[in-house]
Amino acid sequence: MSSSTATTRARDHLGVTRLTGRALTSWLHGLPGVDRVGCDARAAALGTRSIKTTAKAWAIDTAISMVDLTTLEGADTHGKVRSLCAKARVPDPSDPSTPQVAAVCVYNDLVPVAIDALRGTDIHVAAVATAFPSGRASLQVKLADTRDAVQAGAHEIDMVIDRGAFLSGRYLDVFDEIAAIKGACDRPESEGGPAHLKVILETGELATYDNVRRASFLAMLAGADFIKTSTGKVSPAATLPVTLIMLEAVRDWRDQTGEMIGVKPAGGIRTSKDAIKYLVTVSETAGEDWLDPARFRFGASSLLNDLILQRHKLRTGAYSGADYVTID
């Protein structure tokens, strides 16, 4: 989708003849406010739901299939990426029934390595772009960063919004940048078609729940395929209340437009127990249509190990030692 198409669509949605910063501000600040106490209480209540054995087995397999297995370190090597891809393909070598993960997420210069290592599978390669994690670069640099990853074959692009612009109320700047990056994700069908755009809000820096809701709607208006909580480099990263707000946003967006946008909490989700809390929240908030890797993901590295250990415990009745899984 081109920037002009995004602008036209936004004008139609807002009911204005010209998309301006004032129009966006009026629309975003006209969204219902978030009751922080109520949101926290709702998330806490959902986190206490009891999950029985059969449902737990399904939830663990579903969570594994939703993992974006991630390595985003300056010391990443070709060998580390290949090792991660091998784990993505076969998470538990002792049990071939274990689902594969949804994607492997790497820096864009390592996309060709991941593409080669995952050839013949349905596992996607996601690339972080747009001067991840700070987002502090010119639009020209961000576009070049995105195009480089798309041309290398990335199926998904994880971009970061300009939090400084958002917090300054320069919503049109944020909209224009997301729309431009969305345009840079275009690719001919003969080369795999457009890459999906996951827009990272970096919710830990947005200060208020109202800002999380506004940033979610702004990203969707500009063309996001997914909205994502965090880079994993800022604390706090993903939290259940913030994810609840984002799930409410995508639910409401579908009611308004008919479009289904995905949600990806990332950072700090390390245990099966935590992952199941998120799945319960997805089901109770957005609905079962989002209980699919095409609509919900976990950005994680260590989470997969705990899911494998818990899956093995359900299958055998005994806990395995830490050496049962690889250390990533």
pLDDT digits (tens, 9 = 90+) for 189-219: 988 899 999 999 999 999 999 999 999 999 9
| Active-site choice (92, 228, 277, 306) | 228
Where along the chain do its domains lie? 3-316
Confidence (pLDDT) at 1: 75
- Cis before residue 236, ω within 30 degrees of 0? yes
How far, in Å, CA of 65 to CA of 123, rounded? 10
How far, in Å, CA of 203 to CA of 238, rounded? 8
What burial class does residue 60 get, using C-beta atoms within 10 Å of its C-beta: 0-12 exposed, 13-18 middle, 19+ buried? buried
How far, in Å, CA of 297 to CA of 299, rounded? 6
228 is catalytic: yes
How far, in Å, CA of 238 to CA of 211, rounded? 15
| Active-site choice (68, 158, 176, 225) | 158
Give the chain's residues under pLDDT 70: 320-328
The residue behind tokens 């995905």 is 262
**CA-based nearest residue to 240, from 70, 83, 44:** 44
Three-state SS for 162?
coil
Confidence (pLDDT) at 315: 85
| Active-site choice (87, 182, 198, 264) | 264
Confidence (pLDDT) at 326: 67
CB 130 within 8 A of CB 179: no
Confidence (pLDDT) at 85: 97
Residue 308 tokens, joined: 């494998």
Confidence (pLDDT) at 317: 76
158 is catalytic: yes
The structure's pTM equals 0.95
3-316 CATH choice from 1.20.1260.10, 3.90.1150.10, 3.40.50.11750, 3.20.20.70:
3.20.20.70
